[in-house]
Structure 1
Amino acid sequence: MSRKPVHLAVYDTLADWEPGYATAYLARSGHEIRTVAAGSPSPETVTTVAGVRIKPDMSLADLRPEDSSLLILPGADLWDTGDDLAPFARTARAFLDAGVPVAAICGATAGLAREGLLDDRAHTSAVSFYLAATGYKGGERYVEADAVTDGNLITAGPTEPVAFAREVLGRLGAFEGEKLDAWYRLFHDSDASAYEMLES
């Protein structure tokens, strides 16, 4: 049985470093990564914060939860400068309502907070007061941790792309148990002894 693709949201000012570990190692474990951008009927080319241009695979308007195994929402400056990315947060709601996982990091967590998706779920972000500024009602569910998984929702702050990837890889079964722990120790802690476990 073939796997459903993983969908990576892309938009102008996307923080290049945040989804990289997750998407690279999902792809290495056999998951197809498809990029999704706003724009209809065809998606618009986007430019990341590093100036990298991405031609998306598909338009957000055509994305359906039932066709996906995961939606990844990276951070971007645009999450904090207006409502341009609100459609991605609404899509995250549709995914979670359908029981399909969503992984949000950095500014994307603020977008989910504004959408009300963090009010009743454990979560994390850059710092608690960053999310508090959105006016959301989930402050009591904020967790001081590198990354947090609550059911089908994964959240992390901007300095934790490796912890974010660990949760994503574990959620989709790319690595499990000792191998997942070894992957994290290698890339987070530079523990060379973990390499042998990964290669076994």
Structure 2
Amino acid sequence: MFTIYVYVLDTLADWEPGYVMAELNSGRFFKKDAPRVSLKTVSHSKEPIKTMGGMTVVPDCLIEDIVVNETSVLLLPGADTWNDPKHKAVIEKASELLSFGATVCAVCGATAALADFGVLDKRPHTSNGPGFLEMVSPCYKGQNYYVDKPSVADNNLITASSTGALLWAKQIIEHLGVFQSNTLESWYEYFSTGKPEHFFALMQTLSSDDEN
């Protein structure tokens, strides 16, 4: 079973983890033999946080509750408050998880926090465009590994820009192997283009899975 830990902090950018959280939590498009998934919100304290969209979220658990094993997945969404020192603990945990072989997925402002901690110095990654990490993360030394794409998957590290949330979700789902490959492709094509033929193709992949 995968445990998905979603780090929540004030000014969290609601839309960025939206696609992947909805699909992993609902399991509505999972393949028949997909591993079970448990999704938990985690933070530096149990105090409620307020997202950028004004939603109040009460964390399920604390950073020290994150289990360090290969079936743990840490999602780090963007926010305007990543430079607050109290979030250093989760970046340290992210580094520990990556070293152990667990999966860490960061988007937008969270990539800057990883960059400042040196996590991105020697791994392919992306962020909000060339020059962004140099501007906001004084300790960043990963310029030679920067890839100018909306989302970049480097084995168990998946990073994305503020506009790459959909591709980020696709790459995370693919890494976890919870969709059939044709389901994932149809899902991505539908949500990226809005064309109805991809919706019907998506539904067909679910029917074919039921028949197998």
Matched pairs, number: 194
Unmatched tracts of structure 1, length 5 or more: none
Q: How does 1:22-171 map to 2 (within 5 A)?
A: 22-29=20-27, 30-39=36-45, 43-66=46-69, 68-79=71-82, 81-133=83-135, 134-135=137-138, 136-171=140-175
Query: Offset of 1:129 from its aligned partner?
Result: 1.0
Unmatched tracts of structure 2, length 5 or more: 28-35, 205-212
Alpha-carbon distance in 1 for matches of 2:86, 2:131: 22
Q: How does 1:170-189 map to 2 (within 5 A)?
A: 170-189=174-193
Query: TM-score normalised to the size of structure 2?
Result: 0.87
Question: Percent same amino acid at aligned positions?
Answer: 37
Higher Rg of the two aligned structures: 2
How large is the Cα RMSD of the aligned pairs? 1.4
The secondary structure found in structure 1 opposite 2:102 is: coil
Alpha-carbon distance in 2 for matches of 1:144, 1:4: 30
Corresponding residue of 2:8: 10
Alpha-carbon distance in 1 for matches of 2:168, 2:85: 25
Query: TM-score normalised to the size of structure 1?
Result: 0.92
Conservation of the 8 A alpha-carbon contact between 2:151 and 2:160: yes
Query: Offset of 1:68 from its aligned partner?
Result: 4.7
Greater than 4 Å deviation, 4+ residue runs: none
Corresponding residue of 1:21: 19
Corresponding residue of 2:207: none
Query: Offset of 1:138 from its aligned partner?
Result: 0.5
Conservation of the 8 A alpha-carbon contact between 2:8 and 2:49: yes
Report the AA paired with residue 24 of structure 2.
L
